Amino acid sequence: MSSFTAPKGTYDLIPPDSAAFTAVRDALAAPLRGAGYGYVETPGFEHVELFSRGVGESTDIVTKEMYTLTTKGGTRLALRPEGTASVLRAALQANLHRVGNLPVKLWYSGTYYRYERPQAGRYRHFSQVGAEAIGAEDPALDAELIILAAEAHRSLGLTGVTLLLNSLGDAECRPAYRAALQAFLRGLDLDEDTRARIEINPLRVLDDKRESVRRQLTGAPMMRDHLCESCKAYHEGVRDLLREAGVPFTDDDRLVRGLDYYTRTTFEFVHGGLGSQSAVGGGGRYDGLSEMIGGPRLPSVGWALGVDRTVLALRAEGVALDLPSATDVFAVPLGEDARRALFTLVTELRRAGVRADFAYGGRGLKAAMKAANRSGARYAVVAGDRDLGEGVVQVKDLASGEQAPVALTGAVGELRQRLG
């Protein structure tokens, strides 16, 4: 072992587990790629203010969880704690909302950084696949994103994911609700931090997980009873489309993203097998965010799915992904001439689309065959001077142990055919 270990709250992705991880990441993104979303990639760090404004001054992410640094030139940067603010910034910077059709539909995949208390499913460095649909207000767009996430979960074979759904109202109906909620909360017996939160971000108090707080929240005014007609109709529109698509959901009045620019549709995907880190993804509509970061009014909706927790959810359900082995053919040369001939064969196999590997390091036959078996390959190609003299290589089926000579010149075609 080296004298270093990975920093607290991080883990390394290494084979063989990394294969499941990348398969999950691909599966979460696949439905988006088939629905008109274009790939976007932004820097791993941004100006601190983008997040303090774009995520919110009063959120845990900004107040407690952000990794910040000052460059030698005095610029204050933060490692990205989430994707939405950066993606919207990039879209505005490139004028995507002016040059293309609205909505601008983007997807991304990357690692994010939050200074959190590490525990199972909660890391300081983690991965998300995300999607944002920028510049349109249409219940079908909210429904589309939710359906695509549900489709990703289904394609992975997950059955224990529940979709929680709520509406947070809009600039018309939320202020009155917020005031009613504040009046209610001010009458409760709460600690100082929570009292402060009532004034800055009262909706977040509804989300408090502590029993002592939850008990007092019975009877709190609920957004549902304060939605204006257009918000009600919008939310019904989303719910109808989900029902029509056969995507089950649970209405959850307590589900909030208590920032002023989060509006209307809000949702979370939770999984029962993950203990308290139950959210495998979440999202919603953020009609005011663009203006918050200096852009024009661009009502938008998006989600982010956690790759790490989705892998844990699969494990919790005992779902094994059907992963292709990394190697189909493993070449084992015996002697210097065979080394050259088989190395060339491996290159040709790869060019023909066959996954192939080679016994490097000039070890003996026994060690090389062990490596072939470990590689997961279906066939070993073994050749010594005598085989080459006869113009053949030995193709061995590693499962059955059967072995037969094949002409070297026809080996690529033969192996391709056998592998289907």
Report the nearest approach of ligand ATP to the CB of residue 102 (Å): 25
The answer on whether 84 is annotated among ligand-binding residues is yes
The H or E element containing residue 241 is helix 229-244
| Beta bridge mates, 134 | 104, 300
Closer of 317 and 348 to ligand ATP (Cβ): 317
Which DSSP state fits 64? I
What is the closest distance, in whole angstroms, from the C-beta atom of residue 9 to ligand ATP in the complex? 8
Alpha carbon distance 265, 231 (integer Å): 9
Residue 96 phi, psi dihedral angles, 5° rounding: -60, -30
**Measured distance CA(149)–CA(91) in Å, rounded:** 22
CA dihedral 22, 23, 25, 28 (to 10 degrees): 180
Q: Which residues contact 73 (CB under 8 A, 6 or more apart)?
A: none
Residues 107-136 that bind ligand ATP (CB under 6 A): 114, 116, 121-123, 126, 128
Does 262 belong to an annotated binding site? yes
- CB of 44 or CB of 364, closer to ligand ATP: 44
Smallest gap from Cβ 34 to ligand ATP, in A, equals 22
If the CB atoms of residues 156 and 381 are measured against ligand ATP, the closer one turns out to be 156
Query: Which x/- pattern over 59-98 shows residues binding ligand ATP (rule: CB under 6 A)?
Result: -----------------------x----------------
Smallest gap from Cβ 164 to ligand ATP, in A, equals 11
Query: Minimum distance from CB of 60 to ligand ATP (Å)?
Result: 7
What is the Cα 364 distance to its own chain's centre? Answer: 44
- Residue among 201 and 375 whose Cβ is closer to ligand ATP: 201
Binding mask 275-314 for ligand ATP (x = CB under 6 A): --x-xxxx---------------------x-x-xx-----
Peptide bond into 202 cis (omega under 30): no
Total site size for ligand ATP, rule CB under 6 A: 17
Could you give phi then psi for residue 155, rounded to 5 degrees?
-65, -25
82 vs 387, which CB is nearer to ligand ATP? 82
C-beta separation of 39 from 105 below 8 A: no
83 belongs to an annotated ligand binding site:
yes
The residue assigned the tokens 């009609």 is: 287
If the CB atoms of residues 178 and 271 are measured against ligand ATP, the closer one turns out to be 271
Query: CB 244 → ligand ATP: shortest distance, Å?
Result: 26
Q: Which is nearer to ligand ATP, 247 or 279 (CB)?
A: 279
Rounded Cα distance between 374 and 396, Å, is: 15
Q: Is 115 left (phi over 0), alpha (psi -120 to 50) or beta?
A: beta
Query: What residues from 135 to 164 belong to the interface with ligand ATP (CB under 6 A)?
Result: none
Q: Answer yes or no whether residue 252 interacts with ligand ATP by CB under 6 A.
A: no
**What distance in Å separates the CA atoms of residue 88 and residue 335, rounded to the nearest whole number?**
59
Is 286 labelled as part of a ligand binding site? no
Nearest CB to ligand ATP, comparing residues 53 and 232: 53
The torsion of the CA quartet 25, 26, 32, 36, rounded to 10 degrees, works out to: 140
Q: Least distance in Å: CB of 71 to ligand ATP?
A: 25
Tokens of 142: 């909210």
Q: Which residue is nearest to ligand ATP (CB)?
A: 306
388 with 341: CB under 8 angstroms?
yes
Residue with Cβ nearer ligand ATP (116 or 138): 116
Alpha-carbon distance 38 to 144, whole Å? Answer: 15
The rounded distance, in Å, linking the Cα atoms of 59 and 197 is: 10
In the complex, least distance from residue 319 CB atom to ligand ATP, rounded to whole angstroms: 17
Q: Is 276 helix (H, G, I), strand (E, B) or coil?
A: coil
CB of 126 to ligand ATP, least distance (A): 3
128 annotated among ligand-binding-site residues: yes
The phi-psi region of residue 284 (left if phi > 0; otherwise alpha if psi is between -120 and 50; otherwise beta) is left
261 annotated as ligand-binding: yes
Which H or E element spans position 242? Answer: helix 229-244
Site string for ligand ATP, 358-377 (x = CB under 6 A): --------------------
Residue ranges that bind ligand ATP, judged by CB under 6 A: 82, 114, 116, 121-123, 126, 128, 277, 279-282, 304, 306, 308-309
Residue positions forming the annotated binding site for L-histidine? 82-84, 114, 128, 132, 257, 261-262
Question: Binding site: what residues are annotated?
Answer: 82-84, 114, 128, 132, 257, 261-262
